[in-house]
C-alpha cells in the first residue's frame, strides 16, 4: 500500500501528536540533514540572507521537506559552487500522522471493522508551520542573490500551499541589520560565534571587559 497524497494531511486539524513512549512504532522522517553547503563559513563571509516563508497555517510532510532541500541544494551547487552558500531547513517534522488501513482484497467486508476502532497506526511525520514562518534560509554572498532566489523558487514547487521568497535586511543568520552589524563590528561590541555573533556583556570587571574586546578585535 503506497503513501496517501499530501492533501489528506495538509491542514492542522488536531492537537500535536509527537513520538513518545505512548506513541511507538513511528517511522523515521525522510529528511535527516538540515544544514548544507559551507556550514562552518565565518559570519563575515556571507552577508546575504534569503528566506522561503510559508503563507499558510498547514502541515508539510518530511518527504516534501527532503525534496525541497535536494532541489535547492542541487541548483545552488550547480550554479554557484558547493562552498558559496549555507542552506538551512528551518522546520522539523515532529507531528505523527496516522492511517486507518482498510483491506481491499476479496472478502474484506467480513474482516473489516469499518469505523469501529478507527484510531489509525502511525504512517509518517509532518512539520506544523504557521503563517510567516521561515521554511528554508540561505546565506551567501551578494553576487549570488539571483541564484539563491531561483533555487528557493524551484523548491517552492515541492510544498503545498503558498510560499513567498523574502530577502532579509539582516546580516546573514544574525539578528542585526547590516548597518547595525558593521557599526558593532567596528566598535568590537560582539565576538564571533559560528554562524552568529555573541554580544559583549557590559557588566562585570572593567579589565575583563577590555580583555574580551581586545580579543574580539584580533
CB 159 within 8 A of CB 135: yes
pLDDT in tens, 131-156: 999 999 999 999 999 999 999 999 99
pLDDT for 180 equals: 93
Rounded Cα gap, residues 27 and 175, in angstroms: 36
**Of 192 and 74, the one with more pLDDT:** 74
Give the rounded percent of residues in the chain with a pLDDT score beyond 70: 94
State the DSSP H helix or E strand holding residue 63, giving kind and residue range, or none if neither.
helix 62-80
pLDDT at 1 over 60: no
83-103 in b/e form (b: 16+ CB < 10 A) is: ebbbbbbbbebebbbbeeeee
pLDDT for 193 equals: 85
pLDDT at 209 over 90: no
Which of 30-34, 193-197, 213-217 has the least mean pLDDT?
Answer: 213-217
CB 172 within 8 A of CB 195: yes
pLDDT for 216 equals: 63
pLDDT at 58 over 80: yes
Amino acid at each position: 500500500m503506497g503513501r496517501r497524497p499530501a492533501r489528506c494531511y495538509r491542514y492542522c486539524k488536531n492537537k500535536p501528536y509527537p513520538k513518545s513512549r505512548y506513541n511507538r512504532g513511528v517511522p523515521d522522517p525522510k529528511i535527516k540533514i538540515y544544514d548544507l553547503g559551507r556550514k562552518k563559513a565565518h559570519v563575515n563571509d556571507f552577508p546575504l540572507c534569503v528566506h522561503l516563508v510559508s503563507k499558510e497555517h498547514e502541515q508539510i510532510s518530511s518527504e516534501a521537506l527532503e525534496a525541497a532541500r535536494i532541489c535547492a541544494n542541487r541548483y545552488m551547487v550547480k550554479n554557484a559552487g558547493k562552498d558559496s552558500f549555507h542552506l538551512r531547513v528551518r522546520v522539523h517534522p515532529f507531528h505523527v500522522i496516522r492511517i486507518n488501513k482498510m483491506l481491499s482484497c476479496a472478502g474484506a467486508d467480513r474482516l473489516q471493522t469499518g469505523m469501529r476502532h478507527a484510531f489509525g497506526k502511525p504512517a509518517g511525520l509532518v512539520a506544523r508551520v504557521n503563517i510567516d514562518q521561515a521554511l528554508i534560509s540561505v546565506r551567501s554572498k551578494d553576487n549570488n542573490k539571483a541564484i539563491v532566489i531561483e533555487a528557493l523558487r524551484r523548491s517552492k514547487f515541492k510544498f503545498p500551499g503558498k510560499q513567498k521568497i523574502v530577502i532579509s535586511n539582516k546580516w546573514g543568520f544574525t539578528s542585526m541589520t547590516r548597518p547595525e552589524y558593521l557599526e558593532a563590528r567596528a566598535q568590537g561590541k560582539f565576538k564571533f560565534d559560528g554562524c552568529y555573533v555573541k554580544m559583549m556583556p557590559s557588566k562585570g570587571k572593567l579589565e575583563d571587559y577590555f580583555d574580551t574586546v581586545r580579543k574580539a578585535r584580533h
